[in-house]
Structure 1
Amino acid sequence: MDKKKIAEWLAQGSVAVPKLLLNHYKYLGLSEGEFVLLLHMHSFIEDGVLFPTPAELAEKMTAAPSECMEMLRRLLQKGFIVIEEHTDEKGIRSEKYSLQPLWEKLVQYLYTEWAKEERQDQQEEEESLYTMFEQEFGRPLSPFECETLSMWIDQDGHSPQIIKAALREAVLSGKLNFRYIDRILFEWKKNGIRTIEQAQHYGKKFRKHQQSARSTKTAPSEYKQTIPFFNWLES
């Protein structure tokens, strides 16, 4: 085999097909024929042919020129491609296809799917939060307690993870009630506690001070002056 010919074949390069498009084109509403036609358009554009004709596209496909023309019409109608005016270096104006709308639709679809997953994860997290509270309290939550949980999330902006951490702090302190947990959340928010790691560090630091204060029998008034606003774990 002629090595020169092989080199010429390899020199033609390759067309990179985004895996995201390959995996999701059917969810965008593209048929297999439209998908392949778009790939050939992408290849033509990369080779400098900015406005391939239906006949040129048909030469690369099993579809007839009339079928390619119909697919182009649908793609334009559905907003997957647009025709733009192009001016070359010599100032000659011509038309060209742009696949920018296709990429924008793909990004929008992926973002929408991501948002759905986020909402679903949030819903599952909130459901597990209610379950965790009922397990710790050993009973179903009252309507008022359920409303309080919702307010912590919706109005106060606490994440389910932080609320769970506050519940664990209440369990460790032996003060399992909603008023006490609300005080913990209030102190955390006031002190900028936003993550589980910060909450754990804050709780450990306080308990260390609390144990030290009890061992030295520090007076309540003196203790409050030493560690202000840490009364969310006080009896």
Structure 2
Amino acid sequence: MLEKYIRNITFPVNKILFDHYSELGLDESEVIILIKLMEHHSDSRPLPDITQLTEGTTLSGRAINMIMEQLIGKSFIEISHDTAERGKAEILSVEPAYRKLAEFISSDKKGVKDEHQIQELFSFVENLYGRALSPSEFERMNSWLADSGYSVDMIKESVNLAYKNQITSLQYVERILNNLNRTPLEPQRERPPVRDWLKGEDLDD
């Protein structure tokens, strides 16, 4: 009966922090102390006694003081001084930790969105060509995105432009990208035939 009761005891831990603390630049000791601080300090409150933080851990008071300094240095907590009638008090705030978690989620969502766009690009090219891309083609397209800095939309446009001229080689697509990057097309001028362009003729000729 007691075991069943213990199984149902839950401890509220921020799941983002628990799942991604290493990506946030924290180690296990730091995350344990931060969780303790967040549990008792959902807002700004007086700094807890060091003995409260050592309870249930194998850490010494000196080690916890060092961890607190590290958390301040990593901008997860803030300690300010408040002068009250009874004297000077140190106030702890864990708001920086919540801001960091919010920023992490925002950047993570952006990464997921970018990854989705890249997957859409690969699917777009495969559907257009009517076949699966080879490993070397995947590598070339990834290089365009990571090393050359071409956008997904620019690559799609170049692939589509080459395809309309019955060209399905990424080598030719790369030449289109290089020319688009080097010489923006002027809207007043008529675009030269793509086949002549891909043979090496300059856009300004």
TM range (shorter): 0.5 to 0.7
CA deviation profile, 1:21-44 (whole Å, cap 9, x unmatched): xxx96745769x947x635x57xx
In structure 2, the CA distance between the partners of 1:82 and 1:166, relative to structure 1 (3 Å rule), is closer
Partner of 1:216: none
Partner of 1:9: none
Q: Which of residues 188, 192, 198 is equivalent to 1:210?
A: 192
Contact kept in structure 1, 2:126 and 2:132, CA below 8 Å: yes
Q: Which of residues 70, 85, 94 is equivalent to 2:88?
A: 94
Q: Distance in 1 between matches of 2:82 and 2:142?
A: 56
**1:84 shift after superposition:** 3.7
In structure 2, the CA distance between the partners of 1:204 and 1:128, relative to structure 1 (3 Å rule), is farther
Partner of 2:203: 230
Report SS of the residue matched to 2:42: helix
Q: Which of residues 39, 42, 49 is equivalent to 1:38?
A: 42
In structure 2, the CA distance between the partners of 1:70 and 1:93, relative to structure 1 (3 Å rule), is closer
In structure 2, the CA distance between the partners of 1:127 and 1:34, relative to structure 1 (3 Å rule), is same
Partner of 1:155: 147
Amino acid corresponding to residue 94 of structure 1 in structure 2: K
Q: Distance in 2 between matches of 1:109 and 1:94?
A: 31
Structure 1 gap ranges (5+): 1-23, 43-50, 55-68, 194-201, 212-219, 221-227
Contact kept in structure 2, 1:169 and 1:203, CA below 8 Å: no
Contact kept in structure 1, 2:192 and 2:203, CA below 8 Å: no
Structure 2 gap ranges (5+): 1-12, 19-34, 57-64
Report the more deviating stretch, 163-172 or 78-87: 78-87
Q: Give runs of aligned pairs for residues 1-235 of structure 1, distance below 5 A.
A: 27=16, 34=39, 38-39=42-43, 41=44, 51=46, 83-86=79-82, 94-99=88-93, 102-191=94-183, 202=185, 208-210=190-192, 229-230=202-203
In structure 2, the CA distance between the partners of 1:98 and 1:125, relative to structure 1 (3 Å rule), is same
**1:103 shift after superposition:** 2.4
CA deviation profile, 1:53-100 (whole Å, cap 9, x unmatched): 99xxxxxxxxxxxxxx959x99x9876765544457x9x96113142x
The TM-score with structure 2 as length reference comes to 0.54
Aligned-residue sequence identity (percent) comes to: 17
Q: Distance in 2 between matches of 1:169 and 1:121?
A: 25
In structure 2, the CA distance between the partners of 1:82 and 1:105, relative to structure 1 (3 Å rule), is closer
Amino acid corresponding to residue 95 of structure 1 in structure 2: A
In structure 2, the CA distance between the partners of 1:86 and 1:133, relative to structure 1 (3 Å rule), is same
Partner of 1:217: none
Amino acid corresponding to residue 115 of structure 1 in structure 2: S
Larger relative contact order, structure 1 or 2 (CA cutoff 8 Å, min sep 6): 2
Q: Distance in 2 between matches of 1:82 and 1:146?
A: 46
Q: Which has the larger radius of gyration?
A: 1
Report SS of the residue matched to 1:94: strand
| Structure having the larger proportion of residues in helix | 1
Partner of 2:7: none
